[in-house]
Amino acid sequence: MIRQALVLVTLLALLVPPVASAETVGVTRTRLPNGMTVVVRENPVAPLVAYSLLVKMGTRTETPDNAGISNMLQLMLVRGTEKMNGEEIAAAADRMGGSIDAYGDADYSEITAIALSRHWQAMLEMVGDVALRPTMPDGTVRAVRDFLVRQIRNRGDKPFDVASDRMRAALFGSNPYAWDPLGRRESVEKLNRDALLAYYRRQYLPGQMVLAISGDVKSAAVLAQVERIFGALAPGKAETPALLPPPLMAATRQVFTVPGAQAQIFMGALAPPFTDPDYPALKVMTAILGGGMASRLFSDLRDKQALAYTTGAQYPARVDTGAVVSILGTAPANVAKAEAALKEQLMRIQNEPASEEEVAVARSYVVGSQAMDRRTNARQAWYLAAAELAGVGHQYFDIYATNVKKVTPADVQRVARRYLAVMRTIIVQPQ
């Protein structure tokens, strides 16, 4: 099974269109006088250009009182500016052969756009218009707020979402990573135009922003237009709330009841940010546990023991303390057996070194997954902006891939023992 998976990962890597690393293509980094950073990657392979305007704003800059405001603000940006309403923005992007959208996430919020390269300047103007001149009319604010409240309410009816939210809360406590970017219902219901505008003015400052552009463009021409559009934005210092640390890890077990046909078992632990030296080894460890069909959770608990409908392990990149979470979806009658089997797998990876072949498969999975995710200009732009905003430089993710390839079985066991020794368990099951 492991050898077959390694062959499959290798074949998939060969099928992915080649994307040159940041070290082998023209990448230009410029800091405007007002503090805004611009990164341009010249990629003439296809007649397209993509934009990622990242703002250092997300759940990480929120409080329990305004949880969800970053995502709601982003949704409002593309629903009306001083020049166009939301429908006109979407129609104009469509005429350029592309699209424009915005959303909030844990660490960053993004305005993302793509267009045919012959329209690169017009799309850049639109990105600037959306970012700098939003109107946020009251009627649209109410409609978007109602839409988000319905989404949050719907999460409460889905066992997987309930387990995710409960695990997040158990791990992070009063830390803002404790809630989903959608926010909390009681917080979102209170958001209004004045709150959104005040938050926008505090966060949309040039020192908080990175604009990355990847595609069939010339850096000099792009930089001249970016400076014209964004250069007049006044500098300032963002006011962000003090970041409370997550609670100390403790072995806990909580059970919740939600209507549904499946039970969800989550076991999680705090883990370091993506800039930590342990991050590559932990990503490989996560892949061994729950990365695809070659993983232990899939092959042992699903295929061999028939204890799970779905399996997986997650370790999303975070600027601050993150989390490793192992997941099983199982039949309600199998909860006790599945929980014990999942615990056994988490103990096994701590107590027994993984084989060289198993680690090789996991390394290939991690590197290949990132390569596939970076194959488009839109994702290339995001990676450039995210690395720059985190302060690690645009070549970081190439260096990270190199470090993943160096991970050994001893590294995997070391980080497993360090971070999985104490786990929090969340079980969500039907009545």
Question: Model confidence at 236, in pLDDT bands (50, 70, 90)?
Answer: confident
User: Are 313 and 218 in the same domain?
Assistant: no
User: Are 266 and 158 in the same domain?
Assistant: no
Average per-residue pLDDT in the chain? 93
Which domain-ending residue is among 230, 260, 285?
230
Tens-digit pLDDT profile for residues 197-221: 999 999 999 999 999 999 999 999 9
Hunting for tokens 């007002």 — which residue is that? 34
User: Are 269 and 208 in the same domain?
Assistant: no
Hunting for tokens 């260096």 — which residue is that? 399
Which domain-ending residue is among 169, 204, 230?
230
In a domain, 391, yes or no: yes
Containing structural domain, residue 101: 23-230
In a domain, 238, yes or no: no
Tens-digit pLDDT profile for residues 78-131: 999 999 999 999 999 999 999 999 999 999 999 999 999 999 999 999 999 999
User: Are 205 and 268 in the same domain?
Assistant: no
In a domain, 242, yes or no: no
Q: How many domains does the chain have?
A: 2
Residue 25 has a pLDDT of 57
In a domain, 122, yes or no: yes
User: Are 309 and 424 in the same domain?
Assistant: yes
In a domain, 3, yes or no: no
- Is the torsion defined by CA of 86, 89, 93, 94 positive or negative? positive
In a domain, 18, yes or no: no
Residue 239 has a pLDDT of 80
Which domain-ending residue is among 195, 230, 265?
230
Q: Is 4 exposed, middle or buried (0-12, 13-18, 19+ CB in 10 A)?
A: exposed
Tens-digit pLDDT profile for residues 292-329: 888 999 999 999 999 999 999 999 999 999 999 999 99
Q: What CATH number does the domain containing 290 carry?
A: 3.30.830.10
User: Are 211 and 347 in the same domain?
Assistant: no
263-271 β-sheet, strand order: 252-257, 424-429, 263-271, 322-330, 310-314
User: Are 283 and 424 in the same domain?
Assistant: yes
pTM for the full model? 0.91
User: Are 218 and 279 in the same domain?
Assistant: no
Tens-digit pLDDT profile for residues 135-173: 999 999 999 999 999 999 999 999 999 999 999 999 999
Q: Which of 4-18, 49-63, 142-156, 351-365 has the lowest mean pLDDT?
A: 4-18
User: Are 215 and 284 in the same domain?
Assistant: no
User: Are 143 and 262 in the same domain?
Assistant: no
In a domain, 7, yes or no: no
In a domain, 8, yes or no: no
